[in-house]
Structure 1
């Protein structure tokens, strides 16, 4: 189905519903309004307030006041609220899907990936988070006479700056462990996709989260971001690399921690023993999910020359079977890009590559007949290794397919980038795939899957190397970033110094002997 008008009519939403959500943003008075457009039709669906610096400070203050009591709440009680929130997200799935689709223009099956992610994340941290926050004993310098333990305190108020491409998942996937750890959260969603974060805030309240703990501020990033970074105790940012550098610099000046998931120019390596049809299916799934507006999507595919022709035929055929369009039911395969500006950027990347000698194997055109911001899934060949399409993130439904002589060349080409977010290896020998995955410089490398098996492994950390970011979400690492570890060391014999009646030489011999015993014990334990 092609949607060219009447976005509201085909959804289960009304303008009044979004207007009520916008009133959840607390401001100190009348503020200028920012229009929010749906990329489906390029028409306005609502407005949000442009928060001022004073509004940001007030939101952080409200969060900080609520956080003190929340930190004293037993972690088991916090986990129950997080679990209930996950259940509510599942119960309100259709409504949330409609909001995500209306704001982003993505097709329903791609929006569903976001909605099912949140309950899974809630269940993981509700089940596993409390153990990660429990005091732990550590080895002490003099066994029996001294002890050491580590406790974990929440950092305080966590700021979350979330992007437009996955506004449901990325507004809450970091907030969930932050809240469980006893923090408050102030979320700044992208101004193009604010309503889904507001709807999630409503569900958090319904789940029993105390008032004030999850604040939402709205506005353009350049206007709102600095005040947020200057007032919170930790900052999570997901977005572009250049903006990420600015965020990291400001966080550094404020001496607060930050985690950043930034851009990627992700490689996909197809080895000489790969099943061509399986690899082609994975390439299409990975490269064109959410119209390629996915930081984990493969944009460079390196194929062993013995598999190249067969792979190219298979991936072109599979791509040409995809359908473009929009429906609030399950139907079309590929949805809209987020805006006309982004469409122009994707088109410029492809046009530049073609001017440099690349060949369009399929796609390569905007599709205004489908909608104002649609672009065909595109496969390029004969690309120059130093072209923009190889070196810069396109963030659209465009992928380059390049032949390589062997696995060694594939690894070298895969690592020839400043980015290091996600990669994949395709082979019939999984042990070989895992061995080659270790050679690829990315925070996550999947074998025989483009990205989902890595993202869905919530117990394992996810993040980037190089220009793809700092820190990790998911797993124990995903909750430890939101706490300050504190060591409490105790002596049963008073201060560890030389008693007044004992010569220093005797103490020196005793300490030397004790250290030697400790080293021997450590070696025996190993």
Structure 2
């Protein structure tokens, strides 16, 4: 199929209950025009050429500049030259750029939704999750950044005599390596707090989803961000990624745990900071008092949004044995009723996987599990009739530890069902993985849900939902424990990580040394008495 042909959905396989949705008339060629590509790639450092493709059909979307190590160095040089003036811009003016960006992205969401779908294969509603997340982050940091970055005054070592101010200085040029699965939210969404903190950013998006990141850059510039402050480099990860780490003053990385370790080692060698959001094998726990209908509906969202290609989606589903049969029946019925689609319109419940590697992993995990005795409750087959990378939402029962799907991150539309009998058991099993990113608890007893949540070793826990409440509440931090990462996005931690704390202390009236005729012994006695008095006055 060529770019000029419409994206089509064909009839479902003979006995398969998962139905497709009708195709939209708009085509990839209508969206990704030569004029659009020329505009978005203007100023991108690249001496070579590469291309990206749409998962819907496998067709080429655009030819893009490909950056060499020399191009990366040039991009950092340009960003560094522009960063000083941007940092000198009042923080309220920087924050105003984010608020204008908020309005623009909501006004122009149709454009970016088309690009997200074409580059990732997502259902349109799942693409809109990215629009929502980025708008929320832009509003939050547009409103709160001045308070987060405001100088803070602290009690000095000797009250009234020592005046202490804590300043927040931008780190300089942030190197950002963004993944393919959420190309808007995990590119510009993560860069917004870095910009408002006074940094420049050099971003390496995944080549297959670079148009989305470039569109967001173009919109930020339209909102008032100086163009040189936001540089984009494009190329193969093993070539361009290490160069980003080599030149950056701070690194923000989202991707696999294996690559995250390499990024961390590169940053450590240079003694620069790094934030890592890595893999997950997230668990959802359905307690015996849960609302089974709501839990089944929530499991569909938690497991199959963006075809399961979401670091915080659910891959392990623990259900109390007393309600397991009822839950599985309802969950399976909802899953089998899902509509697959490749159209640039709302209506599909799930889209495509993004690439051959993801399809191979999903197929291997499911086929191996079934061969070793697991039972298919739903799905378990590819859907080439809809597109080359479509795979049905899949539920497995009877999964055991030797199976890869039990312990390895699948990153696709596959979930395994496990039964449990008591809460101590399920906490141990949910925590029994190297990962610790997200988890979900379903119960009608709020106190019980919070008590169980506190025992789970994950950076976020959602009660009676899968992932959206914790992730969308941007005043609170979000990130992973254990092998799921370092650092946090969102809230104060999400912006302060892009700054260096600087303490300025001014001493007044007398020095912190013998003075006014005191010898060493008298000064020591004076300070000892002063320390006792400060403790008695409960000074901190």
| TM-score where L is the length of structure 2 | 0.94
Deviation at 1:172, TM superposition (A): 1.1
RMSD of Structure 2 on Structure 1 (CA): 1.7
Contact kept? 1:18, 1:46, Cα under 8 Å = no
Match status 1:374 vs 2:390: yes
Deviation at 1:67, TM superposition (A): 0.7
Alignment of 1:40-439 (within 5 A): 40-439=56-455
- Matching residue of 2:15: none
- Matching residue of 1:24: 42
Distance 1:25 1:244 in 2: 29
Q: Secondary structure at the match of 1:212?
A: helix
Distance 2:368 2:43 in 1: 42
Deviation at 1:64, TM superposition (A): 0.8
Per-residue CA shift, 1:83-134, capped at 9, x if unaligned?
A: 1111111111001100110101101101111112212111100111110111
- Matching residue of 2:489: 473
Q: Secondary structure at the match of 1:194?
A: helix
Match status 1:15 vs 2:21: no
Deviation at 1:522, TM superposition (A): 2.4
Deviation at 1:14, TM superposition (A): 3.5
Selected match of 2:51 from 35, 44, 51: 35
Match status 1:508 vs 2:514: no
Selected match of 2:9 from 3, 21, 34: 3
Deviation at 1:494, TM superposition (A): 4.2
Per-residue CA shift, 1:251-302, capped at 9, x if unaligned?
A: 1111111101000000111111101111111111110000000001010011
Q: Secondary structure at the match of 1:77?
A: helix
Q: Secondary structure at the match of 1:71?
A: helix
Match status 1:489 vs 2:505: yes
Distance 1:514 1:212 in 2: 53
Distance 1:141 1:7 in 2: 70
Contact kept? 1:266, 1:423, Cα under 8 Å = yes
Distance 1:393 1:99 in 2: 27
Distance 2:506 2:55 in 1: 61
Q: Secondary structure at the match of 1:83?
A: helix
Give the total of aligned pairs: 522
Deviation at 1:411, TM superposition (A): 0.7
Distance 2:41 2:95 in 1: 28
More displaced stretch, 488-497 vs 162-171: 488-497
Contact kept? 1:7, 1:40, Cα under 8 Å = no
Cα 1:325–1:2, aligned 2, differ >3 Å: closer, same or farther? Answer: farther
Match status 1:452 vs 2:468: yes
Q: Secondary structure at the match of 2:494?
A: helix
Distance 2:219 2:78 in 1: 19
Contact kept? 1:25, 1:217, Cα under 8 Å = no
Q: Secondary structure at the match of 2:399?
A: coil
Deviation at 1:500, TM superposition (A): 7.9
Q: Secondary structure at the match of 2:208?
A: coil
Distance 2:266 2:460 in 1: 27
Deviation at 1:510, TM superposition (A): 1.4
Contact kept? 1:178, 1:184, Cα under 8 Å = yes
Distance 2:237 2:361 in 1: 20
Distance 2:39 2:56 in 1: 21
Distance 1:518 1:353 in 2: 66
Contact kept? 1:11, 1:98, Cα under 8 Å = no
Q: Secondary structure at the match of 1:173?
A: helix
Contact kept? 2:462, 2:470, Cα under 8 Å = yes
Stretches of structure 1 that go unaligned for 5 or more consecutive residues are none
| TM-score where L is the length of structure 1 | 0.96
Stretches of structure 2 that go unaligned for 5 or more consecutive residues are 1-6, 11-22
Deviation at 1:386, TM superposition (A): 4.2
Deviation at 1:12, TM superposition (A): 4.5
Distance 1:384 1:256 in 2: 41
Deviation at 1:16, TM superposition (A): 1.2
Cα 1:23–1:226, aligned 2, differ >3 Å: closer, same or farther? Answer: same
Deviation at 1:326, TM superposition (A): 1.2
Distance 1:469 1:25 in 2: 33
